[in-house]
Amino acid sequence: MADMFYRLARLFALGLVFILPLEAITAAREIAVVGMLLFLALFFWARHEFSFRSTVLFWPLIFYVATTVFSLFTAVDMAYTLKELRAEVLKGLLLFYAGVHLIQDEENLKQFWGMILVGLAVMTVAGLIFFFHEGGSLLNHAVRAGSLHSGYGTLGTYLVLVWPYLLLAPLLWTRRGAKWLWSAFILATGLLAYTTYNRAAWLAMLLQAALCLVMLTRHRLRTMLLVGLAALLVAGLMFTAPGSRHGERWDRLVTSPLKTGGTAGDLLTLWAYSYRQVKKDPFRGIGLGRHSFSKAFPEFRATHQPLLWHAHNTFVDLTLQLGVQGLAAILLIMGVLVWFLWPHSPPVGGEVAQSFGAATVAVVAGFCLRNLFDDFFVDDTGMMFWLLAGLALGGRELVRARAKA
């Protein structure tokens, strides 16, 4: 019975990895989450043995949860913040620890990696077909790829979450013919990322590629310098590509940043306003949830364009919502993840846990960079982040347990 329950939990979890980015099937997403948690609990019950893997994130997560609960007492809308606490924080913790405990063998981790690639393949093919069918052009951003996701922003964030697993896939799948398939897959995914015209996603995926190259080499300092220079050059070329300018006048960025115009100008105005609000009372949050911004600052909302309904930066948003203690908590979580999963030597082919951990380091870095220009640490992209982090730490806990044994 224990084996059957475990297989069912894994099937629901694998299904969840595939359906999370699919916009129109939220009911299936909830069924997958409940099924995964239910059968995982039944697995441990039938086995009559449960050893809780707290992981290195236990205390940082306690700190983060404490800041979100504390924000209830200063929230502009307590009922809304309570709902967000359940939907984002509680569900995120459940997914994280489910991921940690789902990994009972390294082969399980390889199955999840394979499902990530299957989901990415479907999203890539569908995204390119839809983009060109809808009249998209490689020369302007009038049409932006959304694939099966809810739009170009969420699609770009999804690509950032899975791109490193594609880059490091040859560490596990080493057949000779697979290299050509892998090269074509990378080119197609890169093209899909370009057609989102999501500049933050471009930069994040470039950073992730650079990090993967650094982690795969032995002389990392030298590689970091060379790859860093190359990445800066590529980033400069990116911003000369068609569709890379959304109304900005970059010559004003240094002298008059608030008059830059375009999307960047809107964000700078928004962040300057957010900074002034935080400065008034740094430890008093307006309550967890992106809509708390509109509820707390109606005068700003009334005098600016409708898209500026939250701070469009995860770290600024969390500082406003939870106070500076919330910002410290999320930075601690991201920092601990990178520190613990960073491979001290280049990942070797066949070492699934180490390779998955290395890819997840790049995920964390790219996810943070992408979310400097919007806030997608919520809903399906937030759930995917917590699940991937849990799987990576589950793999490392498995390796540590075997080493002790």
Give pLDDT, residue 260. 66
Alpha carbon distance 143, 83 (integer Å): 35
Nearest Cα to 341, choosing from 399, 402, 388, 392? Answer: 392
Amino acid at 257: P
Please give the pLDDT value at position 291: 94
Spatial CB neighbours of 236, under 8 Å, sequence gap ≥ 6: none
CA distance linking residue 405 with residue 396, whole number of Å: 14
Q: Residue length, the chain?
A: 405
Q: Work out the end-to-end distance of the chain between its first and last CA atoms, rounded to an integer number of angstroms.
A: 26
Q: Are 150 and 194 in contact (CB under 8 A)?
A: no
For CA atoms 63, 65, 68, 69, give the dihedral sign. negative
Q: Which residues of the chain have pLDDT under 70?
A: 24, 246-262
CB 15 within 8 A of CB 118: no
d(CA 213, CA 216): 5
Q: What is the per-residue burial (b if ≥16 Cβ within 10 Å, else e) of 150-163?
A: bebbbbbbbbbbbb
Q: What is the 3-state secondary structure (H, E, C) of the chain?
A: CHHHHHHHHHHHHHHHHHHCCCCCCHHHHHHHHHHHHHHHHHHHHHHCCCCCCCCCCHHHHHHHHHHHHHHHHHCCCHHHHHHHHHHHHHHHHHHHHHHHHHCCCHHHHHHHHHHHHHHHHHHHHHHHHHHHHCCCCCCCCCCCCCCCCCCHHHHHHHHHHHHHHHHCHHHCCCCCCHHHHHHHHHHHHHHHHHHCCCHHHHHHHHHHHHHHHHHCCCCHHHHHHHHHHHHHHHHHHHCCCCCCCCCCCHHHCCCCHHHCCHHHHHHHHHHHHHHHHHHHCCCCCCCCCCCHHHHHCHHHHHHCCCCCCCCCCHHHHHHHHHCHHHHHHHHHHHHHHHHHHCCCCCCCCCCHHHHHHHHHHHHHHHHHHHCCCCCCCCHHHHHHHHHHHHHHHHHHHHHHHHHHC
Query: From CA 265, how far away is CA 247, in angstroms rounded?
Result: 9
Judge contact between 336 and 56, C-beta under 8 A.
Answer: yes
Instruction: Output b/e per residue, 69-98; b: 16+ Cβ within 10 A.
Output: ebbeebbbbeebbbebbebbbebbbbbbbb
Among all chains, which residue has been given the structure tokens 């600016």? Answer: 304
Tokens representing 293 are 């911004």
pTM for this one?
0.94
Residue 385 is predicted with a pLDDT of: 97
- Closest to 394 (Cα-Cα) out of 167, 57, 87: 57
What token pair was written down for 90? 């509680």
Residue 374 neighbours by CB under 8 Å, 6+ apart:
153, 157, 200, 312, 313, 314
